[in-house]
Amino acid sequence: MLSRLVATASFVGLSLIAPGSAAAQASGTRILVMPFDNPTREARLHWIAEAASLLVADELNARGVPAIRRAERVNAFEELHLPAAATLSRATVIKVGQLVGASEVIVGSLRLSGEELILEAHGVRIDVGRVQPAVSERGPLADVVLVFERLSARLASGAPLQTERSRRPPLEAFESYVKGLMAESAATRATFLEEAITSHPGYDRAYLALWAVRHDQADHAAALAAARAVPSDSPRARDAQFFAGVSLLELKQFDEAFDAFAAAAAGATPEFAAAALNNMGVVQLRRASPSSKGLPTYFLTKAADAHPGDSDILFNLGYAYVLEKNYQGAMYWLREALRREPTDAESHYVLGAALSGEGSAVEAAREKELARQLSSRFAELEKRAADERLPVPRGMDRLREDPEMRAGFRPEQTVVNTAQREQQDLASFHLDRGRRLFDREEDREALAELRRAVYLSPYQAQAHLLIGRIHLRAGRPSDAVDALKISIWSRDSAPARIALAEAYLKQQNTAAARTELQRALVLEPQSEEAKRLLAAMGGE
């Protein structure tokens, strides 16, 4: 979600850091490659414009520069409600880069001169919005992959290959694969992807993309077949095994799903292993009866150890402890989840159930009231829990469907040894710094500081108010509403009510905006801003 904006380290440009060096890794370098612009609207270049992002990202990764996956970019476009094929302004490109945690964005254009393909690209530094010097390359259209490899080498300052390139499919199969990724309807996506597989049997990426289509269609048997078709010697065999586990779980083949996730976790990176271990815990949660393979909390604890910044894993662990009626354990892990995602309504709801089970009725009611404000699902969850005679209903667990999707901003990555400091003083320091940055409209840096303040003091009303205003300024009213509701719940104030009214106005919810402005005037009868907004709406 949009609240997961990333505070990245300062980046001094591709031309100044050897991409594969330890310095590049330590600096937090992550490159987002955008689809290239096709200014002449040449039909033959339509699919190549999208392919540019894939080809350049692949080559940068092979040369040691961490490039962001297409799935993260697509999610960012969806979050910002941007058309997939939109031509974006530089400001919007930077906003997309911020959302995925990029330190630099590469943008480019392509055109034809006869049968010759001409490429031009440059980087845009996220921290200062500075455009890097452009590089260009040209070559026969039939050699499109080679032309992009040469361009990418220049973008990476000629750094040598560090890993072997993926096996290149025939151009015809690659074209069908890219068109399958770009197609709007699921049926068209599947048709193109199947054409790619027919042209190049064993095309691992096409099989995995087809898995995603079939999974989204809830055709889990077909999705399983696609995942299992990935060759065992493919570099993406581990991904395929993970996706097969997801399909097996959806098909309620619990033992096979468990074994698939266990095999995927063995020898994987910590983040990948955490996703697989999380899903092993979910398998155990979804079984109709206890299993000899282990308790859900065992696997979820191992997942949290492997990736302590993942709020979904922490939620699952707290949720599993509630179902085991270990309320103390549940409270600890759910509070850790809320440090990372303060607007997570389900975490507030389950924490309320844990507090109720522990006998803390007042705190439980407070958490459940916030859950009610943040989500319309509260009544449904309460009814299901009552029907099932459980503290919380079953089916709330969070399955990871993508093992490598970046989790986003994690406050613990930037707040070191906070347990040894006075948390409230440190939270006030970050809040004060965030306020100054907000006043200077340095919103990205301000958000990072405010996230640190919220991590240390989760119900810091002023921090949530400023976060809401940043979301408003960036055109994200839904995220603003969530942050402002927590600010009001923590400490009711006229400025927070007015900001919430502005967010509702951006959502064209005038009735809710009017209500908030009237409440603001009860709190602060002389508020000129509330009066002005009410007058503009035609209110009294």
Of 16-20, 165-169, 227-231, the range with the lowest mean pLDDT is 16-20
pLDDT of 413 higher than 80: no
Predicted pLDDT of residue 538: 77
Q: Which of 123, 117, 118, 154 is nearest to 30 (CA)?
A: 123
pLDDT of 332 higher than 70: yes
Higher pLDDT, 287 or 93: 287
Q: Give pTM, 2 decimals.
A: 0.76
Mean pLDDT of 253-257: 97
Predicted pLDDT of residue 183: 93
Ordered by where they begin, the domains of the chain are 2-158 (3.40.50.10610), 169-246 (1.25.40), 268-405 (1.25.40.10), 423-536 (1.25.40.10)
Mean pLDDT of the chain: 86
Q: pLDDT by residue (tens digit) across 385-408? A: 999 999 999 999 999 999 987 544
Packing angle, helices 204-216 and 186-199, rounded to 10: 160
Predicted pLDDT of residue 416: 33
* Six token digits for residue 432: 């004060």
Q: Count Cα atoms within 13 angstroms, Cβ side, for 407.
A: 23
Q: pLDDT by residue (tens digit) across 74-119? A: 887 877 777 766 677 777 888 788 878 888 999 999 999 999 999 9
Q: pLDDT by residue (tens digit) across 57-75? A: 999 988 888 898 888 888 8
Buried b / exposed e over 90-124, threshold 16 CB at 10 Å, is: eeebbbbbbbbbbbbbbbbbbbeeeeebebbbbbb
Higher pLDDT, 509 or 2: 509
Q: What percent of the chain has pLDDT over 70?
A: 90
- Residue recorded with tokens 């992009």: 148
| Cα 506 from Cα 484, distance rounded (Å) | 14
pLDDT of 465 higher than 50: yes
Q: pLDDT by residue (tens digit) across 136-195? A: 999 999 999 999 999 999 998 878 888 877 778 999 999 999 999 999 899 999 999 999
Predicted pLDDT of residue 129: 67
In the structure, what pLDDT confidence band is assigned to residue 424 with cuts at 50, 70 and 90? low
In the structure, what pLDDT confidence band is assigned to residue 15 with cuts at 50, 70 and 90? very low
Q: What percent of the chain has pLDDT over 90?
A: 63
Predicted pLDDT of residue 350: 97
Predicted pLDDT of residue 423: 63
| Cα 154 from Cα 136, distance rounded (Å) | 8
| Cα 35 from Cα 85, distance rounded (Å) | 8
CB 487 within 8 A of CB 472: no
Task: State which of 144-148, 199-203, 242-246, 412-416 shows the largest mean pLDDT.
Answer: 242-246
* Six token digits for residue 328: 């103390």
